[in-house]
Structure 1
Amino acid sequence: MYNGQQPIFILKEGTTRTSGKTAQSNNIAAAKAVSDAVRSTLGPKGMDKMLVDSMGDVVITNDGATILKEMDIEHPAAKMIIEIAKTQEQHCYDGTTTAVVIAGELLKRSEDLVDQNVHPTVICEGFRLASDKASELIDSHSISVDKAMLYEVAKTALTGKSAGAVKEFLAEISVGAVLSVARVNGDEVVVDLDDIKVEKKQGGSIKDSTLIDGIILDKERVHSGMPQSVDGAKIALINSAIEVKKTEVDAKIQITDPNMLAQFLDEEESFLKGLVDSIVAAGANVVICQKGIDDLAQHYMAKAGLFAIRRAKKSDMEALSKATGGKIVTNIDDLSADDLGQAALVDERKIGDSDMVFITGCPEAKSVSVLLRGGTEHVVDEIRRAFDDAMGVAAVAYEDGAVLTGGGSVLAAISRDLRAYAEGIGGREQMAIEAFAVALEVIPRTLAENAGLDPVNTIIDLRKAHSEGRSTYGVNVYDGGVVDMTKSSVYEPSRVVEQAVQSASETAVMILRIDDVISSKGGGGMDGGDFDGFDM
């Protein structure tokens, strides 16, 4: 009772509400737990995680975005951290772990400031100033790209993944693929990664992976009587069924005379033969059909010496059209020699335990394929993830034309410059900018920790090198100490670092500004309970 009056309930029963510092520390603790979950995967000496889902399916990876996607996370603040990894993956393909670890560290540092009675909005303002300044500083550290550098960028992305043992080999394939599909529009370079088709097949070793100047289809020819390979292929791309047309409306055909039945069947037969004849007449010797092909039509095609595939995916049809220069035709009667695509060779090969069709030697291939191999399914899946990262960073670096030295060197340099910048700002924001600067050093520190080095000594050596103006020095994870990253050829695209710093600070600011959590589902995971009990 309040002064003899009934208490007023504005929230539904079962709603929990946490506010003030409790809410903040809960959110920060959840975010830190997520960042700690992926922290050990950072860098060349990072370890992998094995994730088992409720169905018992296993994923083994050290790709930050994949780990966070597969983890079953309840806590809403932790989910916001996962969004960072998703954004990073979409825009930059790499640096997901970096972004998440920086966000976790920013929140950890801000918690110390809140304890010192610095108001969250002041911290947010300081973080905002610091992240804007960091963007300017990143531009000043960037190095312009040449093709040899792309290869180093791809190699850096592959280091520390299970594909690291064959990084030179995979880096060559990924850079080759990117350069094949890159188009120059005026001053800018555009790389559309959809033009690179990646097929994975288990069996063989990783070294059996290849880049193909054309398209691979996970299909086989429809009839064993067809030739197994066709030189100088003229390819008809057809997206309608090569079958007898059915009527759209329900129709009955009454046959009263046996001769009529024979006539009817002959009609169907000659219709199909007519379709095949018009394909042959157009000069095609390979048919890729998006829909079905009637058995009888298959027979006629085999007789005519055509090579045919049915039920190709729409995406494959579009890729084929780009690679071979052919047009996708709906009406077979309209097919002409101008619509045909060209390739030097179309052949069916046995890969692993299934047949695949290779369409190679396309004169102006604007679309290429990569076939990835590996001993087991898990290996192939992880190679695929590593390859996507390598291909993505090569594309990003080529598009932006700018890279940075890796090994935590740029973040250490920015951290140093931000400290100097903070002194000129003054006020309480200065504390927040300094906290931001210290937080950026979490990356070189974590690289050292994961490599089994002493993090304190490493950071001291790094700061010393940077104070002497050696701004390209980063952590040497192999031999300890610090080393010039340009000599070790460790590079990453500017966009990766910039996006990581930006999205980490934006998310940290967002989480810091929350001072009240009202949860209407009976407090599941929201009442500051066991937030880090991940279902892993």
Structure 2
Amino acid sequence: MAANLGGQPIFILKEGSQRTRGRDAQSGNIAAAKAVASAVRTTLGPKGMDKMLVDTIGDVVITNDGVTILKEMDIEHPAAKMMVEVAKTQDDEVGDGTTTAVVVAGELLKRAEELLDQDVHPTVIAHGYRLAADKAQELIKELAIDVKPTDKKMLTKIADTAMTGKGAEAAKDKLTELVVKAITMIADEDGTVDTDFVKVEKKVGGTIEDSEIIEGVVIDKERVHPGMPKKIENAKILLLNAPVEFKKTEVDAEISITSPDQLQMFLDEEEKMIKTIVEKIVKSGANVLVCQKGIDDIAQHYLAKAGVLAVRRVKKSDLTKLSRATGATVISSIDAIDAAELGKAGLVEEKKVGGEEMIFVTECDNPKACTLIVRGGTEHVVDELDRALEDALRVVGVAVEDKKFVAGGGSPEVELSLRLREFAASQEGRSQLAIEAFANALEIIPRTLAENAGLDPIDMLVELRSEHENGKKTAGLNVFEAKAVDMLKAGVVEPMRVKTQAIASAAEAAVMILRIDDVIAASKMGGGAPGPEDMEGMGGMGGMGGMPPMM
């Protein structure tokens, strides 16, 4: 890039920097974003396919989860990275609908490209998209139906929808029941749900059907000493965030010992210190000790003698869950140990699960924390089950928090599409075209659902549209029977937030990418910058059709 001044070129950008501008920059960015959308598009819906991702060290992930696929793909192109952000935001906010968000964003850009070809200015399109997105949010809120946090039947259907099409389908009746039970157990009185209090423990072995919910907390650790009891009833639990070992001095200190007696005294003193700590623990009435730090060998011996079941090096997150389940306070100093700070549980025992010892803390009065133990034949099955469960847990949690849900199966998108076309007609000027483009773009969801199920997308869309025009707002696509069906009756439902968030973040990303008219790539150290030919389309994303080279 150079400016000419009296025939003398003045270089503004470093040599090797690349600049792509105007229409080229836009089409390059749009192509990259569309490539990302097409990479995950085939995973959408109950008949969606899975992706197998192999990373550089040969680890394999088999998944149907949009955000997992995009995180694992090694994406270079800056515009493509924005699409990954859309999926991540969706995942953080709602936990499900990541593929929907990305596919809608890709389609919005595709429609925008058609308008750009007709010489509609990008800012006009951006303005129209914003209007349409705001209107869509209003319309979704009108479509939403109330759900009570106690309506377990409806919550089960919501969990069911989130799990359909994932690897968990085989045993989803069992799993949805566990999910709804878990969420209703940990929900606070004011309706907030923190899914962190549902712990998912994965164990390879057994079948999916062996998965279970533990009303309480399971710690993936074993007793520190074989002499300790395996089972304690009416447990008084002490949660300690301090090491049970003798104190070392803060500053470096040297002690010179001249005779063997002194050494013995020194060792005796250390042992006495530990004995005092253990006595303090026992005196408080605690018979279960869960420690975040280490427990000394001598301490283990004394604790075992006193009949205390102790576990060490427990994760902080587990301590928080235990604290919530048993009512114990996490103590960070040995001196602060007090009977009032202890928690209660009806039963603490060590059991073998999948060949490994685990500590079960159960029979708590009002456990506001629980653990799901997920079983499956192979590691990949268990991992995918875990992802499906995470989605379902988040989705049910969101439904309990917002108390609103909408029908699924592409029905809200078709309804929005119709309403937005009416809204477009009421607008003036060229932004009308952009709102129409937005309305058309939303139909990508029912269209993709049909394509992934091997149905004719045009026939299905026509059928859906006519149902909606006749006032059937909840008509969606039943991919198993290849016809439009009332999704509410069919029990295909999703939380409202899945839709509002997906459309909002897809529109924001599309607008952001549209407004870019200049891509300036700095020169890389040692090598030239990616040239415009590298930035074109899938360039910079390498490999086949927007997927990174897998091997």
* Structure 2 CA distance for partners of 1:345 and 1:404, relative to 1, 3 Å: same
In structure 2, the residue matched to 1:495 is 497
Q: 38, 62, 65: which one pairs with 2:64?
A: 62
In structure 1, the residue matched to 2:122 is 120
In structure 2, the residue matched to 1:178 is 183
| 2:530 is equivalent to residue 524 of structure 1 | yes
**1:262-341 matched pairs, under 5 angstroms:** 262-341=264-343
DSSP 3-state at the match of 1:125 = helix
In structure 1, the residue matched to 2:378 is 376
* Structure 2 CA distance for partners of 1:316 and 1:3, relative to 1, 3 Å: closer
Amino acid at match of 2:92: Q
**1:475-490 matched pairs, under 5 angstroms:** 475-490=477-492
Looking at structure 2, the residues matched to 330 and 5 of structure 1 have their Cα atoms a distance apart, in angstroms, of 74
1:97-145 deviation line (CA, Å, top 9, x unaligned): 0000000001101111111111111111111111111011001100111
The alpha carbon displacement at 1:317 in A equals: 1.5
1:172-200 deviation line (CA, Å, top 9, x unaligned): 11111111111123xxx110112122211
**1:128-143 matched pairs, under 5 angstroms:** 128-143=130-145
Amino acid at match of 1:180: M
Q: 140, 153, 157: which one pairs with 2:162?
A: 157
| 2:409 is equivalent to residue 403 of structure 1 | no
* Structure 2 CA distance for partners of 1:2 and 1:195, relative to 1, 3 Å: closer
1:256-309 deviation line (CA, Å, top 9, x unaligned): 444343333333223222222221111111111111111111111111111111
The alpha carbon displacement at 1:523 in A equals: 3.6
Amino acid at match of 1:173: L
Amino acid at match of 2:437: A
Looking at structure 2, the residues matched to 87 and 118 of structure 1 have their Cα atoms a distance apart, in angstroms, of 30
Percent of aligned positions that are identical: 58
Most deviating of 490-499 and 242-251: 242-251
Looking at structure 2, the residues matched to 31 and 306 of structure 1 have their Cα atoms a distance apart, in angstroms, of 59
Q: 246, 249, 252: which one pairs with 1:250?
A: 252
* Structure 2 CA distance for partners of 1:32 and 1:300, relative to 1, 3 Å: same
Q: Which blocks of at least 5 consecutive residues in structure 2 are unaligned?
A: none
- Whether contact under 8 Å (2:229, 2:309) holds in the other structure is yes
1:153-179 deviation line (CA, Å, top 9, x unaligned): 110000000101111111111111111
Amino acid at match of 2:373: L
The alpha carbon displacement at 1:203 in A equals: 1.1
Looking at structure 2, the residues matched to 37 and 332 of structure 1 have their Cα atoms a distance apart, in angstroms, of 55
| 2:469 is equivalent to residue 467 of structure 1 | yes
Aligned Cα root-mean-square deviation (Å):
1.5
The alpha carbon displacement at 1:217 in A equals: 0.7
| 2:440 is equivalent to residue 438 of structure 1 | yes
* Structure 2 CA distance for partners of 1:2 and 1:17, relative to 1, 3 Å: closer
Looking at structure 1, the residues matched to 409 and 311 of structure 2 have their Cα atoms a distance apart, in angstroms, of 49
TM-score calculated relative to the size of structure 1: 0.97
Amino acid at match of 2:427: I
DSSP 3-state at the match of 1:201 = strand
Looking at structure 1, the residues matched to 229 and 385 of structure 2 have their Cα atoms a distance apart, in angstroms, of 34
- Whether contact under 8 Å (2:18, 2:531) holds in the other structure is no
Looking at structure 2, the residues matched to 254 and 13 of structure 1 have their Cα atoms a distance apart, in angstroms, of 66
Looking at structure 2, the residues matched to 331 and 96 of structure 1 have their Cα atoms a distance apart, in angstroms, of 44
DSSP 3-state at the match of 1:226 = coil
- Whether contact under 8 Å (1:444, 1:459) holds in the other structure is yes
**1:63-142 matched pairs, under 5 angstroms:** 63-142=65-144
DSSP 3-state at the match of 2:44 = coil
* Structure 2 CA distance for partners of 1:130 and 1:4, relative to 1, 3 Å: closer
- Whether contact under 8 Å (2:18, 2:530) holds in the other structure is no
Q: 362, 380, 384: which one pairs with 2:364?
A: 362
Looking at structure 1, the residues matched to 394 and 407 of structure 2 have their Cα atoms a distance apart, in angstroms, of 17
The alpha carbon displacement at 1:349 in A equals: 0.8
DSSP 3-state at the match of 1:219 = coil
**1:200-279 matched pairs, under 5 angstroms:** 200-279=202-281
**1:12-91 matched pairs, under 5 angstroms:** 12-91=14-93
The alpha carbon displacement at 1:248 in A equals: 1.8
The alpha carbon displacement at 1:3 in A equals: 9.6
* Structure 2 CA distance for partners of 1:425 and 1:275, relative to 1, 3 Å: same
Looking at structure 2, the residues matched to 470 and 497 of structure 1 have their Cα atoms a distance apart, in angstroms, of 19
Looking at structure 1, the residues matched to 375 and 451 of structure 2 have their Cα atoms a distance apart, in angstroms, of 33
- Whether contact under 8 Å (1:75, 1:525) holds in the other structure is no
In structure 1, the residue matched to 2:431 is 429
Most deviating of 304-313 and 42-51: 304-313
Looking at structure 2, the residues matched to 27 and 361 of structure 1 have their Cα atoms a distance apart, in angstroms, of 56
The alpha carbon displacement at 1:373 in A equals: 1.4
**Count of residue pairs brought into register by the alignment:** 533
1:434-463 deviation line (CA, Å, top 9, x unaligned): 111110000000000000100000000001
Looking at structure 1, the residues matched to 115 and 14 of structure 2 have their Cα atoms a distance apart, in angstroms, of 35
| 2:420 is equivalent to residue 418 of structure 1 | yes
Looking at structure 2, the residues matched to 332 and 452 of structure 1 have their Cα atoms a distance apart, in angstroms, of 65
Q: 443, 451, 454: which one pairs with 1:452?
A: 454
TM-score calculated relative to the size of structure 2: 0.94
1:64-105 deviation line (CA, Å, top 9, x unaligned): 000000001111111111110000000010000000000000
Looking at structure 2, the residues matched to 34 and 469 of structure 1 have their Cα atoms a distance apart, in angstroms, of 35
The alpha carbon displacement at 1:525 in A equals: 6.8
Amino acid at match of 1:489: G
Q: Which blocks of at least 5 consecutive residues in structure 1 are unaligned?
A: none
The alpha carbon displacement at 1:352 in A equals: 1.1
